[in-house]
Amino acid sequence: MAEPFATALALGGGWRDAADTLGSGLAGAKGRLGLLYTAESFAPHQGEMLAVLRQRTGVQDWVSAAGYGVIAAGEEHYGESGAAALLLDLPASGYRLFAGGADAGADLAAAEADWLAAAVMPLALTHVDPRHPDAAGAVEGLSSATGGFLVGGLTAAAGDTAHQAGGASGCLSGVALSPAAIEVATALSQGCTPLGRTHQVTRGKDNILFELDGRRALDVFNEDIGEELASDLRRVGGLIFAALPVAGSDTADYTVRNLVGIDPAGGAVAIGEAVPEGGKVLFCRRDRETAARDMRRMAEDLKRRVGDRVIRGGVYVSCAARGPNQFAPPESETEIIRDTLGTFPMVGFFANGELNRDRIYAYTGVLTLFL
């Protein structure tokens, strides 16, 4: 039976103390590939932390990223000084590190053509600089060029020190994992509940919706959210969002965007992304109850897919707007995962945006299990 991966957590203190604690916790553990997630405050020192970990563990290949908090040992440490690490016991042929700019995917495909041909649809654990102008294009390009399924997230800090793989950085970095070396199961929790049906934008400009289904956008919006909220639109902030269906998805997938303005006189609704005329949009509700319900759904789905196999480890990336901002004991995100899937080594971070398949999401949680 495959053994669980080794993990370690360090809380409080400075970066050197954290690196020493992680190194001690992982000393002697089996593994060839390491994952390091740190608090935002440690971002400038990730290179130094990785040097300590290489020396203390003997593991040379590391992937790292900084978030608004770290996840480990079944706990969430949001806004705290801390770091978490996981060692994956994989053969050298089971993974490939990557890093670079908008052409990172093309570069990886060119350099590792034979490996990618054998590793059909690899899982690409990917970390992205959220302020880089090529971020969205680089994510799509990586998926397209490699045929990979992306998971991961946008870091809490910008620049080369906020994420790296094998000592290199850029717009994005990470590691591609071969299905032949490690079996994975991954799923996404939206944390939102759709209201009403999907609507067509029949008149709009950029991110402003004037008409939906041939009617004033605000009239359609008010019908979907219900009379109670429609009577006081000041209450919809942080509760009601726009959702853009993912074209071609067979799972009713969508990306969530903020409401940025409402014009009661003109009947327009502005959202956080441009939608062309003819495009699709729906409205959804996001609150603690709906988020916990969808989190349980995701965990139960993974439990069904995993069956009786051993979970050797996992990575959970959650939106910074989730965590303690949306969940509370006894139904925090990690509590729901633990109650449904049991205890297993898991690390992760709170991100500026989350990656799933070939796009960047918001307000989601992405859980990846290594089997």
Ordered by start, the domain boundaries in the chain are: 6-189+292-370, 193-285
DSSP result, 219-269: HHHHHHH-HHHHT-GGG-TTTEEEEEEPTT-SS--EEEE-EEEEETTTTEE
Beta pairing partners, 257: 242
172-189: average pLDDT:
96
Structure tokens at 100: 């670079």
26-40: average pLDDT:
96
340-367: average pLDDT:
94
Structure tokens at 302: 């993974």
pLDDT value for 249: 57
pLDDT value for 185: 97
Alpha-carbon span 13 to 25, nearest angstrom:
16
Confidence band (pLDDT; 50, 70, 90) for 252?
Answer: low
Which CATH number applies to 193-285?
2.40.30
177-190: average pLDDT:
95
Q: Which helix (H) or strand (E) holds 111?
A: helix 104-111
Contact 175, 182 (CB under 8 A): no
Confidence band (pLDDT; 50, 70, 90) for 119?
Answer: very high
Alpha-carbon span 221 to 217, nearest angstrom:
6
Alpha-carbon span 200 to 7, nearest angstrom:
48
Residue 214 has pLDDT above 80, yes or no: yes
pLDDT value for 170: 93
128-154: average pLDDT:
95
Lowest mean pLDDT of 65-74, 75-84, 287-296, name the range: 287-296
pLDDT value for 303: 97
How many other CB atoms sit within 10 Å of the CB of residue 307? 8
pLDDT value for 290: 84
Structure tokens at 84: 């978490």
198-214: average pLDDT:
95
